[in-house]
Amino acid sequence: MIFKDRLKEKRTEAGLTQAELAGLAGVTARTIQNYELGSRRPSNMETIQRIADALKTTPAYLLGSSGAYVVEAGIRGGQSAARDIDELVSEVTGLFAGGKLSDEALDGAMRALNEAYWIARDKNKKYASKGSENDKAGS
């Protein structure tokens, strides 16, 4: 189950409308609607915490481990990084779908791939900077 499904499930269990949840969480009803449609995700942990508090649950439950990686990537590296991690998480989840991998093993694989992404991104920045400097020196 992904964020949008968990959010709707918990909101329904709490007997709240989207507008009521929005009021409790300090966001607009349209924002909650977009989250439940899956067209948007919260971009910061404060919003997720307020929603979780309103639903008497935890951010960890709402996000799941894969969703937490995407939010963290957005905070750490912006929307581009969030999209990259979301795509990576989706591909890895699809790769192991229906397999015999335990939740702990899947989470370990996600953590390792997440770290590999950030290492590669940092290295690419380093080399891109050197390439730019070399291009300027050669001009």
CATH number of the domain that residue 74 is part of: 1.10.260.40
pLDDT digits (tens, 9 = 90+) for 100-128: 667 677 777 777 877 888 888 888 877 66
Averaged pLDDT, 60-88: 81
Residue among 52, 88, 48, 53 nearest 70 (CA): 88
- The rounded mean pLDDT for the chain is 82
pLDDT of residue 111: 79
Whole-angstrom distance, CA of residue 48 vs CA of residue 62 = 8
Averaged pLDDT, 41-55: 90
3-state helix, strand, coil in the chain (%, to 5): 80, 0, 20
Please state whether 57 falls in left (phi above 0), alpha (psi between -120 and 50) or beta. Answer: beta
Name the residue range of residue 69's domain.
3-138
Does residue 6 contact residue 62 with C-beta atoms inside 8 Å? yes
Number of structural domains the chain divides into: 1
